[in-house]
Structure 1
Amino acid sequence: MSQAKPQKPVPAARTAPVVHPAPATGKRTQVRDSGVHGKGVYAVRPLSAGDKVLEYKGEIITWQEALDRHPHDPSQPNHTFYFHLDDGHVIDGKHLGNSAKWINHSCEPNLEAEQDGNRVFLYALRDIEPGEELFFDYGLVIDERITPTLKKEYACWCGTPSCRGTMLALKRRKKA
């Protein structure tokens, strides 16, 4: 009598990754609730200034595809997992993404994003202790005139001394 070979389960396409607490060894970061906004990413082990901490992963799409998918959550229309690339494409962290999509914004970040081709890596700007939440400055660029109403739509909750009150990249005023 022959036994049927067990079938390997096929993962569902484009599902969000299951987040498990990281052990004290192994992974360098973990996702958990944030005091700033929703979920956040935290250091599990010490990170040194200059360390490549994470890659921001996701499906690479055009801006038109991003607009067609927008919003990810109609109850939060200004919340996305998009990361703009210099060539005009977008990384959509909601699709094929990793834990980096949960990194929150801060006006005093401890990470910096650097693009290498169509990939984005997040590097530590300073030494980071275990338990610290990881942040980068979103510096969102929009084509509209930045008004007080628009600043509120993209409010920053980092609470740092140099908080500019918005996740938008503020345009410098031209000197007359």
Structure 2
Amino acid sequence: MKKRLRNEHPLVIFKKSKIHGIGGFARADIQRGIRIIEYVGPKLAKAEAQAELEKQNSYIFTLDDDYDIDGSVEWNLARFINHGCQPNCEAEIDRDRIWILARRSIKAGEELTYNYSYDLDDYENRPCHCGAQGCVGYMVAERYFTRLRDRQKA
């Protein structure tokens, strides 16, 4: 029996995404600067988080120099928000909490995305399918876009 996704968030509806799997979409217009949803899960020490990453847990989110959040838990609906190269959201860390907030005004029905800000380690294993005009083809931090574009030209 297929498990149904709890879709009770007041600002976000979760459904099939053209980018990847399930995505988060604005239920209504969202103003710039609004905290949309919190990225939640158990707080892990770096060694624990590394062990989870080695088990292919792709929902580990860096909190600070000492801890990460394991967002793989079913109550963390924010885990379904996809990466985008021209995102309409961003992650904000405030007192040990991770918030996804609107970078700009977002229209109802628009898919929510934020840049996962991965480094270049194994970037080839993280293809991006966001479809943005400026997509570099991989889920990497914006500071690496120029470097990847230069590699693609060579």
Same fold (TM over 0.5): yes
1:112 matched to which residue of 2? 90
> Given the two structures, how large is their TM-score scaled by the length of structure 2?
0.82
Could you tell me how far apart the structure 2 residues matched to 1:71 and 1:36 are?
A: 25
2:152 matched to which residue of 1? none
Larger Rg: 1
Does residue 28 of the first structure (1) align with residue 11 of the second (2)?
Answer: yes
2:26 matched to which residue of 1? 43
2:127 matched to which residue of 1? 155
- 1:131 is paired with a residue whose SS is coil
**Residues 137, 44 of structure 1: alpha-carbon distance in 2 compared, 3 angstrom cutoff:** same
Does residue 99 of the first structure (1) align with residue 77 of the second (2)?
Answer: yes
Aligned residue pair count: 143
Could you tell me how far apart the structure 1 residues matched to 2:91 and 2:76 are?
A: 15
Does residue 67 of the first structure (1) align with residue 39 of the second (2)?
Answer: no
CA displacement at 1:133 relative to structure 2: 0.7
Match of 2:35 among 44, 52, 65: 52
Identity of counterpart residues, as a percentage?
33
Could you tell me how far apart the structure 2 residues matched to 1:126 and 1:132 are?
A: 12
Could you tell me how far apart the structure 1 residues matched to 2:24 and 2:54 are?
A: 23
**Residues 135, 30 of structure 1: alpha-carbon distance in 2 compared, 3 angstrom cutoff:** same
Could you tell me how far apart the structure 1 residues matched to 2:6 and 2:96 are?
A: 28
Could you tell me how far apart the structure 2 residues matched to 1:136 and 1:38 are?
A: 16
**Residues 59, 141 of structure 1: alpha-carbon distance in 2 compared, 3 angstrom cutoff:** same
**Residues 97, 21 of structure 1: alpha-carbon distance in 2 compared, 3 angstrom cutoff:** closer
* Paired letter, 1:163: C
Match of 1:90 among 68, 91, 102: 68
What are structure 2's unaligned runs of at least 5 residues? 148-154
Could you tell me how far apart the structure 2 residues matched to 1:124 and 1:168 are?
A: 20
Does residue 19 of the first structure (1) align with residue 5 of the second (2)?
Answer: yes
CA displacement at 1:154 relative to structure 2: 1.1
Map 1:159-174; keep pairs closer than 5 Å. Answer: 159-169=131-141, 170=144
Could you tell me how far apart the structure 2 residues matched to 1:166 and 1:66 are?
A: 23
> Given the two structures, how large is their TM-score scaled by the length of structure 1?
0.72
**Residues 83, 97 of structure 1: alpha-carbon distance in 2 compared, 3 angstrom cutoff:** farther
- 2:48 is paired with a residue whose SS is helix
- 1:163 is paired with a residue whose SS is coil
**Residues 20, 86 of structure 1: alpha-carbon distance in 2 compared, 3 angstrom cutoff:** closer
Relative to its length, the structure with more helix (as a share) is 2
Could you tell me how far apart the structure 2 residues matched to 1:134 and 1:81 are?
A: 17
Show structure 1 runs of 4+ deviating over 6 A: none
What are structure 1's unaligned runs of at least 5 residues? 1-16, 145-149
- 1:70 is paired with a residue whose SS is helix
CA displacement at 1:70 relative to structure 2: 3.2
